[in-house]
Amino acid sequence: MKTDIILSGVGGQGILSIAAVIGEAALANGLYMKQSEVHGMSQRGGDVQSNLRISDAPVASDLIPKGKADLIISLEPMEALRYLPYLKKDGWLVTNSIPVENIPDYPDLDEIMNEINRLPHKIIVNADKIAKETGSARVANIVLLGATTPFLGISYDKIAGGIKRIFERKGREIVDLNLKALEAGRREAPSK
């Protein structure tokens, strides 16, 4: 088992929280993991991306070569396009449909979505709307994580356990909110 994941978005969207939850779940599952991160500046709308490599055998490098990612999880559609060259031909893209128009020359959203819609394997989720319906706009990242659960190679229960461990210090209410968001996202995913 090997899953190479690229997480992308804009600073402040919760990319690193997704990586922490997946990493926690992978370790609890007895898997090997390597991770690298590039932190943008949320005040300037900088991009944030993380390479996450999970395997049942030791992982030599933390960087995913172009054309080798099994999964891209993107909290922002333009950032999804930025990393498409890394996606395998049969890989999956899971992206939020709502842009963060943080630059004056943000590309036309219809053009971005046309490119995304050309992919054979994609899930486009209005994670912002679902998160608000769940109880907080702040859990849009966990909604997207839920939509990726069929493709992670880690059981849903282990991912839920990762959420419990990562957020437990913030209290039961926050844990429950994130678990609710995870389940709402899972309902958006097709069965693999």
pLDDT of residue 192: 53
pLDDT of residue 57: 92
Dihedral, CA of residue 133, residue 139, residue 144 and residue 150, to nearest 10: -90
| Annotation: CATH topology of 2-186 | Pyruvate-ferredoxin Oxidoreductase; domain 3 (3.40.920)
> Digits of tens for pLDDT over the chain (192 positions)?
899 999 998 877 878 889 999 999 999 989 998 888 765 555 456 777 889 999 999 988 889 999 999 999 999 999 999 999 999 999 999 999 999 887 788 889 999 999 999 999 999 999 999 999 999 999 999 999 999 999 888 999 999 999 999 999 999 999 999 999 999 999 998 765
Helix residue spans in 92-191 (DSSP H): 109-117, 127-134, 140-148, 156-167, 172-186
Backbone angles phi, psi at 156, to 5 degrees: -55, -40
pLDDT of residue 93: 96
Tell me the C-alpha distance between 70 and 77, whole Å: 18
